[in-house]
Every structure is written in structure tokens, then in C-alpha cells.
Amino acid sequence: MSIVTSQEMFAKAYAGGYAIGAFNVNNMEIIQGITEAAKECNAPVILQVSSGARKYANRTYLVKLVEAAVIETGLPICLHLDHGDSFELCKACVDDGFSSVMIDASSKPFEENVALTRQVVEYAHAHGAVVEAELGTLAGIEDDVKVKAEDSSYTRPEDVQEFVERTGCDSLAIAIGTSHGAYKFKPGTKPQLRFDILEEVSERLPGFPIVLHGSSSVPQEYVQMINEFGGDMPGAIGVPEDQLRQAARLAVCKINIDSDLRLAMTGTIRKYLAEHPAEFDPRKYLGPARENIKQLVKHKIVDVLGCDGKA
């Protein structure tokens, strides 16, 4: 088995009414936690690298760690660029062995988004890779880009068919009320995704895979752990998992999760170091962090995505 594209994963997920988890990776322990969980659940998985993660780890390490995970697990694993912001970055990742790239030109006017996405699709398809594009703008923080809630906008279903036809993209991220980061909804309000938009989009794009970004659920056990051991995260609220499960049954084939892994890792390490103040062997706190990432990902695969046993 080698790194695969998401094409077959999405076709099966669409037909089967489940979704593939796309988890952000930054280092070895995160990659191991996710892929050990996927292995135990016999689940296909997407490991995604943001431009910030690529800068942090440099262009080689994460690719080689993902190749190691393929060898260790024998699973179908897709290596994906998350939120690529230029043709040059998408091209560099395809050249480095990524099987999938996202070109995120969602903040640009429609015609510019079409033109840039088309350019990336032509290069990626000529080199055996697939492309995710985005229409509509999510609120929240990615790298250095901060989109205020009032500047975010839902995807307009009337645009999607023309966009997909003109760009040739392989999947489409849409904005239906999710957002990046750990503060997705105002405390005291009822989180509710816009399933009406999702349904209208999928009626216009029958059989076409839809992607949901900003899909962390912000587990309160880890928020509390962080707060208990010196952190300060009041009012951190995520997307209810039952709504993600519902989206996975519909046209959503890829669900992006990063913040939940960060919370599990940081909460575990804070707790460990608070309880073992004399410890200075990194393996002692990174090991439990990796284990809790694994348990979290198993829960997502089985209870939220429904992709267990689908590898």
C-alpha cells in the first residue's frame, strides 16, 4: 500500500452514508495516535498538513512520517494539503508526494476563485493528485488568517454547479455554520448547522463529495482539564457530534478535525506535568498525549464519522 488519493474513499463514503476523518498533523506523536486508531478500527483516513505545519516541520518530515504510517498500518491513507493559498504551494506539495491538495481561494471574488482553482486542478490532475476547493467563508483562525464571524458567509447553493463544472475540482468545502478553532458558538446559544444549505447543494451536485471544515466538537473533558491545570479557555464550544453524524449520512464525505486533537494533547500534557512536576523526559508526557489522541480518534471514527471497518 502507498499513499492514496481520496477518490475511492469518497465514492464509497458517499454511497455508504459515512464520512472520512481528515485530521491535522504536526508531529510524529499526532500521526501515530491518529493512524493507530484508524488501524484498530480498520478505517481509511486523511492526514492533512497546513502551510503552518509544513513551515514548522519543514517540507520533508511530515511526508516521511506519513509514509512510515502507511508502512506500519497498511491502511489507505491520503496525504492532503489543508488550506493551500497559492498555486506555488499546491504545486510544491504535489511535487513532494501529496496525493491531494486544497486550494482555498474562498476569500477571493468568484471569478478569481474559479481561475486559481482551475490552475491547481490542471497541475494536480496531470500529476495524479486530487483537488479540494472552497466556496463560502468560515469564521475563525487558520494560520495567520483571522476571519471575524460577521465577515463569514454561507455558501450560496446557486453558485456550486457552475463552480464545480468550470474548475473540475474533486470535492467542495462549503460553509454551513461551522468555524475554525475552539470558540465556534456564543455561550448560551444553540449550535445549529444549516442542513437546508447542505441539502440544496447536494441536490445541485448529485453524487459529489462535500467537505466540512471547522468540525471539532471541543470535548468539555479536555477544556476542563486545561482550565483545571493552569489554562484559561472559558466558553469554548464546538459542533454537536450528532449534527456531524447527520452530515456524514448526507453528502459530506470529509470532516476536518484539528482543534479537538490540540485540546486532547495540551490537556493531557498540562495534567501530566502538574501531577509530575519533577519529570523532564518528553516521552513521559508525549506518550499519554498520543494515547489520548488515539482514543479520541477512535471515538470520532466509530461514533461520529461511521467509517470503521471501511478500509
Using the minimum distance from each CB to ligand G3H, give the nearer residue, 27 or 161: 27
Farthest CA pair distance, the chain: 60
147 φ/ψ angles, rounded to the nearest 5 degrees: -105, 120
> Among residues 242 and 279, whose Cβ is nearest to ligand 13P?
242
Distances (CA, A) of 35 to 9, 47, 161, 222: 16, 9, 35, 21
Q: Which of 80, 213, 294, 300 binds Zn ion (CB under 5 A)?
A: 213
| CB 162 within 8 Å of CB 124 | no
For ligand 13P, the closer of residues 254 and 290 by Cβ is 254
CA–CA separation, 298 vs 213, rounded Å? Answer: 19
Please give the grid coordinates belonging to residue 160: 456550486
Find the binder of ligand 13P among 33, 76, 84, 181 (CB under 6 A): 181
Known catalytic membership, residue 82: yes
Residue 85 found at the interface with ligand 13P (CB under 6 A)? no
Distance of CA 113 to the CA centre of its chain: 21
Show the site string, 33-52: x = touches ligand G3H by CB under 6 A, - = not.
Answer: -----------------x-x
Q: What is the dihedral of CA 93, 58, 76, 182, to 10 degrees?
A: -100
CB nearer to ligand G3H: give 180 or 300. 180
Size of the site for ligand G3H (CB under 6 A): 10
* Residue span binding Zn ion (CB under 5 A) among the ranges 36-44, 151-159, 210-218, 247-255: 210-218
Task: For residue 143, state whether it binds ligand G3H (rule: CB under 6 A).
Answer: yes
Residue ranges with strand state E in 77-117: 77-84, 100-103
80, 91, 180, 254: which one binds ligand G3H (CB under 6 A): 180
Catalytic (active-site) positions? 82
Which stretches of the chain bind Zn ion, using CB under 5 A? 213
